[in-house]
Amino acid sequence: MQIFAKLCSIAAVAASLFATSASAGTIDDIRSRGVLRIPAILNEVPYFNKDPRTGEWQGFVIDMANDIAKTLDVKLEVVESSWSNAILDVQSGKVDMAFAVTATPVRAMSVSFSDPTYYNSFVLVSAKDELTGKAWNELNDPKYTFAVDLGSAQDLMATQYLPKANILRFKTRDEAIVAVTTGKADGLVNTMLNGLVIAKKAPAVGSVKVPTPVLSTPSVIAVNYGADETFKSFVSAWAEYNRRIGNNQTWILNSLKPFGVELTDMPPGFGFGG
């Protein structure tokens, strides 16, 4: 009888410890660890950029993540990754969140999404004046050839809106840019954020053109499905608050300045706040 009582006591203590651990919560887990972990991609300006001399990461995503880390009173830990692996990093628990994610139904089956941090529009970067002022349905023509980076949000958009045009798909954005500058493609389909930087860094590729209607997509933060609702609510509240008061747009614009991109370079009426 005494043995049974002891076993019950041990089981009760174990259950109590499990309940305490389970109720700790995602935010408490991050605080006890002392770091907030995010994935970052090399040479993906203005999102991320790693100084080869100091190893320091910069970019507007780093600024955003640092602000969340500061709010949680922890340090930021950057895990080197890639666009294709960032969602997997969140799924596996390797990182706590991933920024600059395009919310798609397929990805929603793998991770949870925050409210939008900013909005990005799809544009065309081209040196051909004849493409200025065109609508997407006018560009959807076999006489046009466009370049995209394979598997990107712009690749999905081009597949949906430009099925009749010739689409050249490349493993990297740089290869797609070369296709335009060498005349293999009439223009590069990309996002406004990337397009502004590309047009400044590689003037030969042409200028940013915004086909109508404006196709805009929210950029969100991806978090693990297993994260508790308090953490998910916090991340969404952070995204909504900083987008509405303009902090997110300020961080983005600050990251664009080294490339000579100013607010005046954006098409009339465009803003990252949506």
One domain for residues 211 and 250: no
Better-scored residue on pLDDT, 216 or 75: 75
Which of 216, 240, 257 lies at the terminal end of a domain, its last residue? 216
Q: What does the DSSP 8-state code read for residue 48? A: B
Residue type at 63 in one-letter notation: D
Kindly report, residue by residue over 62-95, the tens digit of the pLDDT: 999 999 999 999 999 999 998 889 999 999 999 9
Residue 18 reports pLDDT greater than 60? no
Q: Is residue 59 part of a domain?
A: yes
For residue 6, what is the enclosing H or E element?
A: helix 2-22
Can you give the pLDDT at residue 12?
46
One domain for residues 104 and 235: yes
pLDDT band for 199, please (50, 70, 90 cuts). Answer: very high
Q: Is residue 6 part of a domain?
A: no
Tell me the average pLDDT across 101-115. 92
Can you give the pLDDT at residue 269?
64
One domain for residues 204 and 261: no
Mean pLDDT of the chain: 89
CB–CB of 177/220 below 8 Å?
A: no
Extract the tokens encoding 13: 């203590």
Identify which of 274, 215, 210 has the alpha carbon closest to the alpha carbon of residue 248: 274
One domain for residues 126 and 210: yes
One domain for residues 97 and 222: yes
Domain that holds residue 51: 26-118+217-265
Residue 180 reports pLDDT greater than 50? yes
Identify which of 180, 171, 174 has the alpha carbon closest to the alpha carbon of residue 144: 180
CA distance 159 to 166: 10
Kindly report, residue by residue over 219-239, the tens digit of the pLDDT: 999 999 999 999 999 999 999
Can you give the pLDDT at residue 271?
72
Can you give the pLDDT at residue 6?
45
Number of domains in the chain: 2
By three-state DSSP, how is residue 152 classified?
coil
CATH number at residue 106: 3.40.190.10
Q: Would you list the DSSP string of 163-180? A: SSSEEEEESSHHHHHHHH
One domain for residues 106 and 171: no
Q: Is residue 131 part of a domain?
A: yes
Q: Is residue 143 part of a domain?
A: yes
One domain for residues 162 and 203: yes
Percent of residues, the chain, with pLDDT higher than 90: 75
One domain for residues 173 and 202: yes
Identify which of 37, 40, 39, 48 has the alpha carbon closest to the alpha carbon of residue 193: 48
Kindly report, residue by residue over 29-58, the tens digit of the pLDDT: 999 999 999 999 988 889 999 999 999 999
Q: Is residue 10 part of a domain?
A: no
Can you give the pLDDT at residue 272?
79
Phi, psi (5° rounding) for residue 214? -65, 125
Better-scored residue on pLDDT, 99 or 171: 99
Can you give the pLDDT at residue 274?
64
One domain for residues 53 and 110: yes
Q: Is residue 83 part of a domain?
A: yes
Place of tokens 């958009």: 157
